Amino acid sequence: MKVFIETYGCQMNVNDSEVALSILQKAGYERCDTLEEADLILINTCSVRDNAEQRVLGRLDVFRQQKRRRPGVRVGVLGCMAERLKEKLLEHPAVDIVAGPDAYRDLPRLAAAVSVSGKQINTLLSHEETYGDIAPVRMDDEGVTAFISIMRGCNNVCAYCIVPYVRGAERSRDPQSILREARSLIEAGYREINLLGQNVDSYRWKGEDGASLDFAGLLEAVAELDPKVRIRFATSHPKDMSDAVLLAMSRHANICRHIHLPVQSGSDAMLEKMNRKYTRAHYLERIARIREILPDCAITTDVIAGFCGETEADHEATLSLMRAVRYDSAFMFQYSERPGTKASRHFPDDVPAEVKTRRLSEIIALQNEISLECNRPLVGRCFEVLIECMSKRSDAELMGRTSQNKSCVFPAAGHKPGEYVTVRVLSCTSATLRCEIV
**What CATH number has the domain bearing residue 401?**
2.40.50.140
pLDDT in tens, 81-108: 999 999 999 999 999 999 999 999 999 9
Q: Are 172 and 112 within one domain?
A: no
The span from the first CA to the last CA of the chain, in angstroms, equals 49
Question: b/e string for 142-163 if b means 16 or more Cβ within 10 A?
Answer: eebbbbbbbbbbbebebbbbbb
Whole-number CA gyration radius for the chain? 22
pLDDT at residue 140, rounded to an integer = 84
Q: How far is CA 399 from CA 193, 275, 375, in A?
A: 18, 39, 17
Q: How many structural domains compose the chain?
A: 4
Whether residue 199 is contained in a domain is answered as yes
Whether residue 394 is contained in a domain is answered as yes
* CA neighbor of 140 nearest in space, from 1, 15, 232: 15
Calpha distance 118→112 (Å, rounded): 10
Domain end marker among 256, 281, 303:
256
pLDDT at residue 426, rounded to an integer = 98
Calpha distance 52→85 (Å, rounded): 14
- The alpha-helical segments, DSSP class H, found in 75-231 are 80-85, 87-90, 107-117, 163-167, 175-187, 215-223
Q: Which domain holds residue 424?
A: 379-437
Do residues 194 and 150 make contact, with C-beta atoms less than 8 angstroms apart? no
Do residues 328 and 406 make contact, with C-beta atoms less than 8 angstroms apart? yes
Whether residue 280 is contained in a domain is answered as no
Strands (E), 197-297: 204-206, 212-214, 230-234, 258-260
Do residues 196 and 11 make contact, with C-beta atoms less than 8 angstroms apart? yes
pLDDT 10s per residue in the chain (438 long)? 999 999 999 999 999 999 999 999 999 999 999 999 999 999 999 999 899 999 999 999 999 999 999 999 999 999 999 999 999 999 999 999 999 999 999 999 999 999 889 999 999 999 999 999 999 999 987 899 999 999 999 999 999 999 999 999 999 999 999 999 999 999 999 999 999 999 999 999 998 888 899 999 999 999 999 999 999 999 999 999 999 999 999 999 999 999 999 999 999 999 999 999 999 999 999 999 999 999 999 999 999 999 999 999 999 999 999 999 999 999 999 999 999 999 999 999 999 999 999 999 999 999 999 999 999 999 999 999 999 999 988 989 999 999 999 999 999 999 999 999 999 999 999 999 999 999
- The alpha-helical segments, DSSP class H, found in 122-174 are 163-167
Calpha distance 21→3 (Å, rounded): 8
Q: Are 175 and 223 within one domain?
A: yes
Q: How far is CA 88 from CA 81, 93, 345, 408, in A?
A: 10, 11, 20, 44
Q: Are 373 and 387 within one domain?
A: no
User: Do strands 382-390 and 420-428 pair parallel, antiparallel, or not at all (unpaired)?
Assistant: antiparallel
Whether residue 197 is contained in a domain is answered as yes
